[in-house]
């Protein structure tokens, strides 16, 4: 009897020890998106829902965000380990906080092209960038397109424009009401928001930055230097699991929206499916992305962006592209070959 009790106790101890070791091998990662849960969030929510992060021994928590600037700041503060943020916002943080001890680093490009564009209603008579001279533009002060507009303006000789600031929910409403002549914003966000306000897509003039001389990169996965130093293997595991999930999303965007719906039950499945497909076509599986490879960057293009952002954002110090980007944690190129040929 005593022997049986001893064996039971020993077995229980072994099970508890095994569970403890398994838990110890799992790395917890707090991840913040750049915006609320919308179609493009599927790129992260699908690998989480399919268990790809869990299979990689990662316990990943994904939270919605309220702008790239906030995501960069929260990763820098240590509140989050990783995040998705506009590369220009990360560059600006580096250059304006040269003495900050924990400047995040971008480790994988997700939006190879900036999703920013200028949008106007056709009835305004605006057809080309030249027509924006002397016009009233609208966007939140932290909007990526607004902050990078000096680069767009320089490339297209736009002059004499003025800005009106507003909270994000009012941007498209003010354009529809005629309070502003044009707005800047992410194409897959503002175009569909305009449709939701009764404007047909064919009645909107869209001038995507990449089509008008602005070759900026868009959103990248950023990581705290603490995690990079203490657990580089976890970062590599995250990027590998994420890449696997993105491949699934590219193969079936409509199915991936279910994972977004699971996180935010009030989304419109139809609208967010269209938003995800638009994001895939314009910035994830774009010609530049296919040329450079998913997740990767082109050195000269990155250096040019650093110089342009330094000028446009009038940063305190010049941006060092080598300080904001590292490709050391990317999966092998064969693993990154997930983009579908058009």
- Residues 37-88: tens digit of each pLDDT: 999 999 999 999 999 999 999 999 999 999 899 999 999 999 999 999 999 9
Least confident of 93-97, 144-148, 182-186: 144-148
Are 107 and 79 members of one domain? Answer: yes
The residue range of the domain holding 178 is 116-212
What are the pLDDT digits (tens) for 152-204?
Answer: 999 999 999 999 999 999 999 999 999 999 999 999 999 999 999 999 999 99
Any domain includes 286: yes
pLDDT band at 22 (very low <50, low <70, confident <90, very high): very low
Q: Can you say whether the dihedral through the CA atoms of 239, 240, 245, 247 is positive or negative?
A: positive
Q: What is the CATH number of the domain that holds 190?
A: 3.40.190.10
87 touches 219 (CB < 8 A): yes
- Given pLDDT bands bounded at 50, 70 and 90, which one contains residue 20? very low
If you compute the radius of gyration of the chain from its CA atoms, what whole number of angstroms results? Answer: 22
Q: Whole-number mean pLDDT of the chain? A: 93
Q: What is the pLDDT of residue 142?
A: 87
Same domain, yes or no, for 104 and 125? no
What pLDDT does 340 receive? 80
Dist CA 163 CA 18 (whole Å): 61
Distance CA 113, CA 284 (A): 8
Residues 304 and 203 in one domain: no
pLDDT for the residue 4 = 57
Looking only at the bridges linking them, the beta strands covering 219-223 and 82-86 are: antiparallel
Residue with tokens 């693993």: 335
Decide if 1 is inside a domain: no
Give the three-state DSSP class for 182. Answer: strand
What confidence category does residue 209 fall into, taking pLDDT thresholds of 50, 70 and 90? very high
Assess whether 235 and 89 both reside in one domain: yes
The count of structural domains within the chain is 2
Write the DSSP symbol of residue 84: E
Question: pLDDT-based confidence at 341, cuts 50/70/90?
Answer: confident
Residue 258 is predicted with a pLDDT of: 98
Asked whether residue 164 is domain-assigned, the answer is yes
Are 204 and 227 found together in one domain?
no
Q: Average pLDDT in the 209-217 region?
A: 94
Residues 161 and 251 in one domain: no
66 and 124 both lie in a single domain: no
Pair (95, 233) in one structural domain: yes
What is the rounded distance in angstroms from the CA atom of residue 95 to the CA atom of residue 314?
Answer: 9
Q: Which of 185, 212, 239 is the last residue of a domain?
A: 212
pLDDT tens-digit profile of 4-16? 555 555 555 555 5
pLDDT at 240 over 50: yes
Interval 287-311 mean pLDDT: 96
Q: Which of 196, 212, 228 is the last residue of a domain?
A: 212
The rounded distance, in Å, linking the Cα atoms of 124 and 178 is 9
CB 224 within 8 A of CB 103: no
Inside any domain, residue 3: no
Residues 122 and 226 in one domain: no
**Residue 271 lies inside a defined structural domain of this protein:** yes
Same domain, 96 and 237: yes
Question: Same structural domain for residues 175 and 250?
Answer: no
Looking at the domain assignment, is residue 230 inside a domain? yes
Task: Tell me, yes or no, whether 241 and 326 share the same domain.
Answer: yes
Residue 341 forms part of a structural domain: no
Q: Which of 146, 177, 212 is the last residue of a domain?
A: 212
Mean pLDDT of 234-252: 98
Q: pLDDT value at position 25?
A: 87
What is the percent of the chain where pLDDT is above 90?
90
In a domain, 342, yes or no: no
């Amino acid at each position: 009897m005593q022997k049986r009790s001893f064996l039971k106790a020993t077995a229980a101890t072994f099970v508890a020890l095994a569970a403890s070791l398994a838990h110890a091998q799992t790395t917890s990662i707090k991840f913040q998106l750049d915006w609320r849960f919308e179609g493009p969030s599927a790129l992260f929510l699908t690998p989480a829902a399919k268990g790809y992060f869990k299979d990689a021994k990662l316990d990943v928590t994904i939270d919605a965000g309220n702008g790239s600037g906030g995501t960069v700041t929260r990763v820098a503060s240590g509140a989050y380990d990783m995040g998705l943020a506009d590369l220009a916002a990360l560059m600006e943080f580096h250059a304006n906080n040269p003495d900050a001890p924990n400047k995040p680093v971008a480790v994988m490009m997700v939006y190879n092209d900036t999703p920013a564009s200028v949008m106007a209603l056709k009835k305004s008579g605006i057809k080309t960038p030249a027509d924006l001279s002397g016009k009233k533009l609208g966007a939140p002060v932290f909007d990526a397109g607004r902050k990078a507009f000096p680069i767009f303006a320089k490339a297209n000789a736009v002059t004499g424009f003025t800005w009106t600031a507003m909270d994000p929910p009012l941007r498209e409403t003010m354009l529809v009401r005629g309070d502003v002549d044009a707005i800047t914003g992410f194409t897959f966000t503002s175009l569909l928001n305009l449709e939701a306000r009764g404007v047909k897509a064919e009645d909107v003039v869209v001038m995507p930055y990449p089509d008008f001389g602005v070759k900026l990169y868009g959103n990248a996965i950023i990581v705290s230097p603490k995690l990079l130093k203490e657990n580089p293997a976890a970062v590599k595991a995250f990027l590998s699991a994420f890449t696997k999930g993105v491949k699934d999303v590219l193969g079936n965007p409509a199915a991936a929206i279910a994972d977004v719906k699971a996180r935010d039950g009030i989304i419109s499945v139809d609208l967010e499916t269209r938003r995800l497909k638009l994001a895939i076509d314009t910035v994830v599986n774009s010609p530049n992305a296919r040329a450079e490879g998913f997740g990767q960057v082109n050195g000269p293009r990155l250096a040019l962006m650093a110089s342009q952002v330094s000028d446009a954002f009038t940063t305190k110090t010049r941006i060092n592209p080598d300080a904001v980007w590292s490709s050391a944690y990317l999966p092998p190129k064969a693993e990154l070959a997930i983009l579908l040929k058009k």
